[in-house]
Amino acid sequence: MEPLAKIELFKGLNERELVKVRELSRTVRKPKGGIFFRQEQDADAFYVLLSGRIKAVQTTAEGKEVVIRYVHPHDLFGCVTAFGNDRYPGTSEVIEDAIALCWDRKAVEKLMRDFPPVALNAMRTFGGRITELQDRNRELATERVEQRIARALTRICEQAGRKDGSDVVIDFPIRRQDLAEMTGTTLFTVSRILSDWENRGIFKSGRQKITVRKPDELAEIAESSAAQ
């Protein structure tokens, strides 16, 4: 089966159309540590991740980093701006050897013109992204650090967790620092909170992987209204 069939953006296209769409793309491989595009660079293409893992980060004028999101296989990245003739708002760092398909601007125009469902799907995808960003905004504005970390972890579990009995395993490298940059806090605070959770048996950290033993307890922390 056509690998593109699993991509939201191309839902509603038939097998033959999918093949045509793929023929408009080219394959790009980047090893761990590589970069697909940099912040501020002219957005001339968008990508679909086939395998590997990517971290989208933004750097502030003062050199602080913020993790915007993780990109998992089948996700789009670099799409927001590539459709809109702009500059990339962040940098895409490869954290696990990655293979991606890439459509340049010309291809984008052709896609939009020749395959009407694509525009609609893109809008749906964007809408989802906006809703998610608004949620994160609200969380940053109203919740305590512990809750935000719980949410971040829960979200990662949902998007990329592998179930193992009642445990959920995340087996790609997330550092304390990364969690801090996702939740707007510091490495130290994350470390303290994770230690606490480890004592309470909610959570276990191993090399380059994380196991959540009590996902529901984590979700409870995320939702708890304790944060007057």
Partner DNA sequence: CGTCGACTTGACTCGGCTCAATGCGAGTGG
Partner DNA sequence: CCACTCGCATTGAGCCGAGTCAAGTCGACG
DSSP states along 64-101:
-EEEEEEE-TT-EESHHHHTTT-B-SSEEEEEEEEEEE
Q: Which is nearer to a second copy, 9 or 168 (CB)?
A: 9
Question: If contact means CB under 5 to 8 A according to the sort of partner, which of DNA, a second copy, none does residue 130 touch?
Answer: a second copy
Could you tell me which residues are beta bridge partners of residue 211?
Answer: 169, 204
Q: Is 177 in the site for a second copy (CB under 8 A)?
A: no
Region binding DNA by CB under 7 A among candidate stretches 101-109, 131-139, 153-161, 176-184: 176-184
211 lies in the site for DNA, by CB under 7 A: no
Is 35 an interacting residue with respect to a second copy (CB under 8 A)? no
Q: Does 60 bind DNA (CB under 7 A)?
A: no
Cβ contacts of 93 within 8 Å, gap of 6 or more: 33, 34, 35, 54, 55, 56, 57
Beta strands 91-104 and 162-164 are unpaired
Total residues contacting DNA by CB under 7 A comes to: 20
* Binding piece for DNA, criterion CB under 7 A, among 18-26, 41-49, 104-112, 138-146: 138-146
Find the shortest distance in angstroms from Cβ 132 to a second copy: 9
Q: Which of 184, 204, 214, 219 binds DNA (CB under 7 A)?
A: 184
- The amino acid present at 206, given as its one-letter code, is G
Residues with Cβ within 8 Å of 33's Cβ and at least 6 positions away in sequence, in order, are 93, 94
* 187 interacts with DNA by CB under 7 A: yes
Structural contact between residues 108 and 101, judged by C-beta atoms closer than 8 angstroms? no
Choose the stretch contacting DNA; rule: CB under 7 A; options: 42-50, 66-74, 130-138, 180-188: 180-188
223 binds a second copy (CB under 8 A): yes
CA distance 4 to 74: 8
User: Would you tell me which residues interact with DNA (CB under 7 A)?
Assistant: 144-146, 175-177, 184-189, 191-192, 194-195, 198, 205, 207, 228
